[in-house]
Structure 1
Amino acid sequence: MAIRNIVQDGDPILKKKSRLVEKFDDRLHQLLEDMKDTLTEAKGAGLAAVQVGVLRQVCIIDVEEDEPVIELINPVILEEEGCQNGAEGCLSFPGQFGLVKRPMKVTVRAQDRNGNYFEKTAEGFAARAFSHEIDHLHGITYDTKVSRMLTEEELESGEYEIDD
């Protein structure tokens, strides 16, 4: 296992579309393990492979305390329901947070590390994380969806107006 460097805002790789994973092998498994270590070290909720410099459709989500990290390979959002508008940040944009509209509920179809297909439905913060990480795989960063950036004071107090 290894902790990889997280690509920062301004690196052009963040705007590139990731390629489909076709080989479900030890190399992919190592990438997933390294991404888990990197995410744990960074104390984030999710991480896309592009954020560690790998242009493959791979992302991981860690939002449930009692559940293991969710690995999504070649994910596709099948359904979206509702709307939530709230604070969002990104490990590639350290210290920056903005208001972003996301679906309240998403259903995703993806493959696991062995190539098996599965569907997963997520709500609330988990839906936000799924949407955010899947956007990364298409070269979309959260800053392009921000209605406004939050100040440090707003973040610390947790009090800010949400624009509808």
Structure 2
Amino acid sequence: MTKGGLSAEEAEKVLQQKLEALNEPMDDENYYFVQTFTMNLEKSPEYTEQKNHSHDEEAFQKATLEGVLKARELLEKNDIKYIRPPDNFVEMFRDEREMEIVRQKLMEDQRAIQIAEAKRKQKQIEQAPKVENVQKKPGILMKKKVSAAQRKKDAKKAMRAKSK
């Protein structure tokens, strides 16, 4: 007995069947579609290099519709159900708790965007060239920036002037 409850001979037989199934020709479109649920369209949509996106979207929509109709025929041909039963209810809406989480996330994202925008504007202001002697407040001129070495020299001059 093997792991799956089959004898060695039965397991060998199952393995041979699976290998034969794998070696079946994949040229048959019907077989390929049923095994993979994928298909190649006979005519692919033609895209333009221009900025005419509506033409591209229309071509894609036509190709998709053609593929869906062809897939529907293959599903019906192989007796594969593709329409959900009417009693199968899928909940489509979120409850209030989930929606509140979504709202909070959106508000956090919006705040993050506003903060990033404010930082960007502040950085632009800091990087702008500064004009000397521009009044910040009416009647008060900006003082020139004086280095520590210059202040020492000015202090020494003032001391000499006082001592004379």
* Fold shared, TM-score > 0.5 on shorter chain: no
More helix by share: 2
Q: Normalization by structure 1: what TM-score? A: 0.15
Bigger strand fraction: 1
TM-score when normalising by structure 2:
0.15
Structure label with greater radius of gyration:
2
